[in-house]
Amino acid sequence: MSAHSDAAAVNADRAAPARAASYLHDGYTLWSWLSSRDHKRIAILYAVSITAFFFIGATAAALMRLELFTPGADVVDADTYNRLFTAHGVIMVWMFLIPSIPSVFGNFALPLMIGARDLAFPRLNLLSWYLYAGGGLFTIAALLLGGVDTGWTFYTPYSSVFSNTHVILTLAGVLIVGFSSIATGVNFIVTVHTLRAPGMGWFKLPLFVWAIYATSVILVLATPVLAITLLLLAAERVFHVGLFNPALGGDPLLFQHLFWFYSHPAVYIMILPAMGVASEIIPCFARKRVFGYRFMAFAIIGIAVISFLVWGHHMFVSGQSAYASMVFSLLSFMVAVPSAIKVFNWTATLYKGSISFTAPMLYALGFVVLFLQGGLTGLFLASLSVDVHVTDTYFVVAHFHYIMVGGAVMAYLGAAHYWWPKITGRLYPESWARLAALIIFAGFNLTFFPQYLLGYEGMPRRYHTYPPDFQVLNVLSSAGAAILAVGYLLPLGYLLWSCLHGRPAPDNPWGASGLEWKTATPPPQHNFDRLPDGSDPPYDYPPLQE
Amino acid sequence: MSQGLALFPPSASAAARDTDALYLALTGFSTLIAAVFIALIAIFCYRYRKNAKANRAHAPSSARGLEAAWTIAPLIVFLGLFAWSARQYALQFHAPRDATRVFIVAKQWMWTVEHPNGRREINELHIPIDTPVKLIMTSQDVIHSFFVPALRNKRDVVPGRYSTLWFRADRPGEYLLLCAEYCGTDHSEMKGRVVAMAPQDYARWMEGGASHPGLAERGFALFRRHGCMGCHAAASSVHAPELSGLLGRRVRLSDGSDVVADETYVRDSIMEPQKAIVAGYEAIMPSFKTQLNEEDISAIIEYIRSLDRDELAGERP
Name the residue ranges covered by the structural domains of chain A. Answer: 43-518
- The span from the CA of B223 to the CA of A354, in Å, is 82
CB contact (8 A) between residue A291 and residue B60: yes
Tell me what the mean pLDDT of segment B201-211 comes to. 81
Residue A471 has pLDDT above 50, yes or no: yes
Tell me what the mean pLDDT of segment B224-230 comes to. 84
User: CA neighbours within 13 Å on the CB side: how many for B101?
Assistant: 21
Residues of B in contact with A152 (CB under 8 A): none
Tell me what the mean pLDDT of segment A20-45 comes to. 91
Rg (CA), chain B: 27
Orientation of helix A39-67 relative to helix A78-90, angle to 10°: 150
At residue A542, the 3 state secondary structure works out as coil
CB contact (8 A) between residue A163 and residue B149: no
User: CA neighbours within 13 Å on the CB side: how many for A39?
Assistant: 27
Residues of B in contact with A343 (CB under 8 A): 37
Where does the pLDDT of residue B309 fall: very low under 50, low under 70, confident under 90, or very high at 90 and above? low
- Residue B274: count other Cβ atoms within 10 Å of its Cβ: 12
Tell me what the mean pLDDT of segment A43-60 comes to. 96
b/e string for B79-91 if b means 16 or more Cβ within 10 A?
A: eebbebbbebbee
b/e string for B8-44 if b means 16 or more Cβ within 10 A?
A: bbbbbbebbebbbebbebbbeebeebbeebbeebeeb
Supply the pLDDT for residue B5.
Answer: 61
Q: What is the pLDDT of residues A441-468, one digit of tens each?
A: 999 999 999 999 999 999 999 999 999 9
Where does the pLDDT of residue B219 fall: very low under 50, low under 70, confident under 90, or very high at 90 and above? confident
Residue A153 has pLDDT above 70, yes or no: yes
Taking CA atoms, what residue in B is nearest to A356? B50
Taking CA atoms, what residue in A is nearest to B46? A355
Where does the pLDDT of residue B172 fall: very low under 50, low under 70, confident under 90, or very high at 90 and above? very high
CATH number, span A43-518: 1.20.210.10
Nearest to A246 among B70, B85, B159 (CB): B159
Percent of chain A past pLDDT 70, that is, above it, reads 96
Do the beta carbons of residue A108 and residue A43 sit within 8 Å?
Answer: yes
Where does the pLDDT of residue B217 fall: very low under 50, low under 70, confident under 90, or very high at 90 and above? confident
Q: Between the CA of residue A448 and those of A33, A451, B58, B224, what are the distances in Å?
A: 39, 5, 41, 57
- The span from the CA of A112 to the CA of A212, in Å, is 14
What would the 3-class secondary structure string for A328-387 be? HHHHHHHHHHHHHHHHHHHHHHHCCCCECCCHHHHHHHHHHHHHHHHHHHHHHHHCHHHH
Where does the pLDDT of residue B58 fall: very low under 50, low under 70, confident under 90, or very high at 90 and above? confident
Interface test with A, best of B182, B259, B264 (most A CBs within 10 A): B182
Residues of A in contact with B268 (CB under 8 A): none
Nearest to A319 among B152, B161, B184 (CB): B161
Q: What is the pLDDT of residues A183-236, one digit of tens each?
A: 999 999 999 999 999 999 999 999 999 999 999 999 999 999 999 999 999 999
Supply the pLDDT for residue A530.
Answer: 87
Supply the pLDDT for residue B273.
Answer: 85
CB contact (8 A) between residue A343 and residue B37: yes
Residue that wins the pLDDT comparison between B317 and B32: B32
Nearest to B158 among A149, A252, A545 (CB): A252
Taking CA atoms, what residue in A is nearest to B90? A322
Do the beta carbons of residue A337 and residue B86 sit within 8 Å?
Answer: no
Supply the pLDDT for residue B209.
Answer: 64
B107 to chain A, minimum CA–CA distance in Å?
Answer: 12
Q: What is the pLDDT of residues B147-157, one digit of tens each?
A: 999 999 999 99
Supply the pLDDT for residue B224.
Answer: 85
- The span from the CA of A26 to the CA of A28, in Å, is 7
Residues of B in contact with A357 (CB under 8 A): 45, 49
Nearest to A329 among B6, B40, B86 (CB): B86
Do the beta carbons of residue A317 and residue B145 sit within 8 Å?
Answer: yes
Residues of A in contact with B41 (CB under 8 A): 347, 350, 365, 368-369
Taking CA atoms, what residue in B is nearest to A394? B180
| Residue at B148: amino acid letter | V
Q: What is the pLDDT of residues A367-421, one digit of tens each?
A: 999 999 999 999 999 999 999 999 999 999 999 999 999 999 999 999 999 999 9
B223 to chain A, minimum CA–CA distance in Å?
Answer: 22
Residue A125 has pLDDT above 80, yes or no: yes
Taking CA atoms, what residue in A is nearest to B77? A333
Which helix (H) or strand (E) covers residue A310, if one does? none
Do the beta carbons of residue B165 and residue B155 sit within 8 Å?
Answer: yes
What is the separation, in whole angstroms, between the first and last Cα of chain A? 49
Percent of chain B past pLDDT 70, that is, above it, reads 94
Residues of A in contact with B53 (CB under 8 A): 546
Supply the pLDDT for residue A2.
Answer: 41
Summary mean pLDDT of chain B = 87
Nearest to A292 among B22, B45, B67 (CB): B67
B22 to chain A, minimum CA–CA distance in Å?
Answer: 7
Taking CA atoms, what residue in A is nearest to B149? A458
Where does the pLDDT of residue B81 fall: very low under 50, low under 70, confident under 90, or very high at 90 and above? very high
Supply the pLDDT for residue B240.
Answer: 83
CB contact (8 A) between residue B53 and residue A546: yes
Residues of A in contact with B150 (CB under 8 A): 458
CB contact (8 A) between residue A246 and residue B160: yes
Contact partners, residue A271, CB within 8 Å, separation at least 6 = A371, A403, A404, A407, A408
- Helices assigned H by DSSP within A97-147: 98-99, 107-113, 122-144
Do the beta carbons of residue B6 and residue B150 sit within 8 Å?
Answer: no
Nearest to A389 among B5, B143, B152 (CB): B152
Q: Between the CA of residue A183 and those of A44, A99, A110, what are the distances in Å?
A: 18, 12, 16
CB contact (8 A) between residue B59 and residue A322: no
| Residue at A425: amino acid letter | G
Tell me what the mean pLDDT of segment A344-362 comes to. 94
CB contact (8 A) between residue B142 and residue A376: no
Residue A13 has pLDDT above 60, yes or no: no
Between β-strands B144-148 and B258-260, what pairing exists: parallel, antiparallel or unpaired? unpaired
Residue B210 has pLDDT above 60, yes or no: no
Taking CA atoms, what residue in A is nearest to B180? A460
Supply the pLDDT for residue A15.
Answer: 41
Taking CA atoms, what residue in B is nearest to A157? B142
Residue A481 has pLDDT above 80, yes or no: yes
Do the beta carbons of residue B196 and residue B173 sit within 8 Å?
Answer: yes
Supply the pLDDT for residue A14.
Answer: 44
How many CB pairs lie under 8 A apart between chains A and B? 276
CB contact (8 A) between residue A347 and residue B182: no
Among A10-24, A151-165, A364-378, B292-306, name the one with the lowest average pLDDT. Answer: A10-24
Q: Between the CA of residue A182 and those of A103, A152, A189, B237, what are the distances in Å?
A: 12, 20, 11, 62
Supply the pLDDT for residue B277.
Answer: 86
Q: What is the pLDDT of residues B89-106, one digit of tens each?
A: 999 888 898 999 999 999
Do the beta carbons of residue A46 and residue A187 sit within 8 Å?
Answer: no
Where does the pLDDT of residue A178 fall: very low under 50, low under 70, confident under 90, or very high at 90 and above? very high
CB contact (8 A) between residue A355 and residue B8: no
Q: What is the pLDDT of residues A39-51, one digit of tens each?
A: 999 999 999 999 9
Q: What is the pTM of this model?
A: 0.89
Where does the pLDDT of residue B51 fall: very low under 50, low under 70, confident under 90, or very high at 90 and above? confident
Residue B2 has pLDDT above 50, yes or no: no
Supply the pLDDT for residue A546.
Answer: 57
Residues of B in contact with A541 (CB under 8 A): none
Residues of A in contact with B184 (CB under 8 A): 82, 149, 158, 162-163
Supply the pLDDT for residue A247.
Answer: 87
Tell me what the mean pLDDT of segment B217-244 comes to. 83
- The span from the CA of A3 to the CA of B276, in Å, is 63
Residue B314 has pLDDT above 70, yes or no: no
